[in-house]
Amino acid sequence: MLANTPMPNKIQIPLLNHTPVVERDLPTAPILTALLGRPLSKVDRKGCQNGTFCVRDASTKGDYTLTIRFGERNKLIKIFVSGGRCGFAPEELKFDTVVQLIDYYKRNSLKEYNRQLEIELLYPLRRPNIEKTMWEIDGVHSVEHLLCQLRGLHAARTRILRFDDQISAELDSLREELQRKRQARAAFSAAHALFVNQMELITKNKELLKSEADIAHLNINIELQQRRLESIRSQQEQMNEQIAAIEAHIKESEQSHSELTPKLSKLHTELNQCEFRLCQMNVPQATVERERQEVSFLTDAEPEPLSRILMHFHLRWQPDRFLSVDCSKENGMKIVRALMDCNPNNSDGIFVIRPSSSQAGHYALTISNDNRIYNCLIEHRDVKHPESCGYAFLNTKLFFPTLVDFVRYYSHCSMKEHNSQLDTRLKIPAFKGTL
């Protein structure tokens, strides 16, 4: 455990890609170049989607105004700048630069600032004469982080596609069964009507009989027909209950299917964006395809209970918030210790994932708990391994297809099963991130 050290004003760790975003002249920042001085109200509103935004000079010198399209209206939010920091309120200057603020709210909802603004900054408004797409890279990005993000997104989409296929097959089966039950109910209804007519006919014939023997025989027949009629009515009721249960099951499955559709659409968009960024960074398509194939294999081999759990666990962070590609064990502990000193009342669960210093190809988790810092090996087995493969704590059997899924799971579940002294979750990633 490291000794407590005074908290510096800014964390300055050498050889890391996660240092604070360098202050830039705003007119040169990619997302702002075409925005300053061009109010959103000047744009044809019919072509302006919710989430379209721009930043321009405010009426007060040195400040800016963020304009965002939301609910068919333009919302104006002032960005205060003071002492080299900026934010939406003078008392909450959380960001080093306006670019950093924009990057953050491209990934996080503005409801953090205003509960009524449940939307992210989605579409930067561009100058009409500059052909740029929504896939343009803004900020500093690492190929390793983007590949990690690609794996996580592909695993999430593969799970949803698999369950969506299961739901579709189940719906087909349920609809066929419903059709059979409805046909059977129709047959019971016809049989019921037939027996009712027979009972009416027998009752009329009884009035014409004189012989006691004939009347006795007819009474026996009437009792038999009544029992049959009651049996048909009972089967009708059971059939109605079965049909109602199947219809309810179909409705529930259709609801599940409809809930998966927008998730699939969102993941598809994010995957396209990630692949486009990798293409812009000259990553070969063969590399991207190889990553996708490996993740598909690992996800298909994933136990279904774990898949269901991961589908419902939300992950709030992009890989560049928690993953460092060039961080040593010593620097990782310095980062976590500095953040612990900065957050004395909330110092458990601060973490960074880094390459293992002792075992090539593996990773290590540096995490705080109970005022101590722990380093845990994350084993990585590729698909060639004869046993379970993926990412897992050393000497455990719970493997995940991607590092993103590893973080997703342990951000919701305690790590005490791995280490009894680590009764905490992954709570606070070490970096601000730029993805």
| Residue 15 lies inside a defined structural domain of this protein | no
Whether 349 and 399 map to the same domain: the answer is: yes
Whether 279 and 159 map to the same domain: the answer is: yes
| Residue 69 lies inside a defined structural domain of this protein | yes
Q: What is the CATH number of the domain that holds 61?
A: 3.30.505.10
Whether 232 and 370 map to the same domain: the answer is: no
Q: With bands split at pLDDT 50, 70 and 90, how would you rate the model's confidence at 377?
A: very high
Whether 111 and 154 map to the same domain: the answer is: no
Given 243, 274, 289, the domain boundary residue is 289
More confidently predicted of 217 and 34: 217
Range of the domain at 274: 143-289
Whether 178 and 59 map to the same domain: the answer is: no
| Residue 130 lies inside a defined structural domain of this protein | no
Cβ pair 399, 392 in contact under 8 A: yes
Using a 10 angstrom Cβ sphere, with 0-12 exposed, 13-18 middle and 19 or more buried, the burial of residue 236 is middle
Whether 188 and 102 map to the same domain: the answer is: no
Whether 278 and 348 map to the same domain: the answer is: no
Place of tokens 């957050």: 343
Whether 172 and 264 map to the same domain: the answer is: yes
CB-CB neighbours of 19 under 10 Å: 15
Rounded to whole angstroms, the Cα distance separating 416 from 399 reads: 16
DSSP 212-234: HHHHHHHHHHHHHHHHHHHHHHH
pLDDT tens readout for residues 213-229: 777 777 787 788 888 88
Whether 101 and 171 map to the same domain: the answer is: no
Task: State mean pLDDT over 394-412.
Answer: 94
Q: What is the CATH number of the domain that holds 208?
A: 1.10.287.1490
Q: Please name which of 359, 263, 364, 362 lies closest in space to residue 312, comparing C-alpha atoms.
A: 263
Q: With bands split at pLDDT 50, 70 and 90, how would you rate the model's confidence at 386?
A: low
Q: Please name which of 151, 167, 154 lies closest in space to residue 268, comparing C-alpha atoms.
A: 154
What average pLDDT does the structure give for the chain?
81
| Residue 318 lies inside a defined structural domain of this protein | yes
Number of independent structural domains in the chain: 3
For the chain, give the percent of residues with pLDDT over 70: 84
pLDDT tens readout for residues 166-224: 999 999 999 999 999 999 888 888 888 888 888 778 777 776 766 777 777 777 877 88
Whether 270 and 322 map to the same domain: the answer is: no
Burial 315-337 (b: 16+ CB within 10 A, else e): bebbbbbbbbbebbeebbbbbbb
Q: With bands split at pLDDT 50, 70 and 90, how would you rate the model's confidence at 370?
A: very high
For the chain, give the percent of residues with pLDDT over 90: 40
**Lowest mean pLDDT, pick from 20-34, 277-291, 306-320:** 20-34
| Residue 217 lies inside a defined structural domain of this protein | yes
| Residue 211 lies inside a defined structural domain of this protein | yes
DSSP label of 29: S
| Residue 21 lies inside a defined structural domain of this protein | no
The pLDDT value given to residue 329: 92
Whether 273 and 147 map to the same domain: the answer is: yes
| Residue 347 lies inside a defined structural domain of this protein | yes
Tell me the backbone φ, ψ of residue 381, rounded to 5 degrees. Answer: -115, 130
Given 97, 124, 151, the domain boundary residue is 124
Whether 259 and 396 map to the same domain: the answer is: no
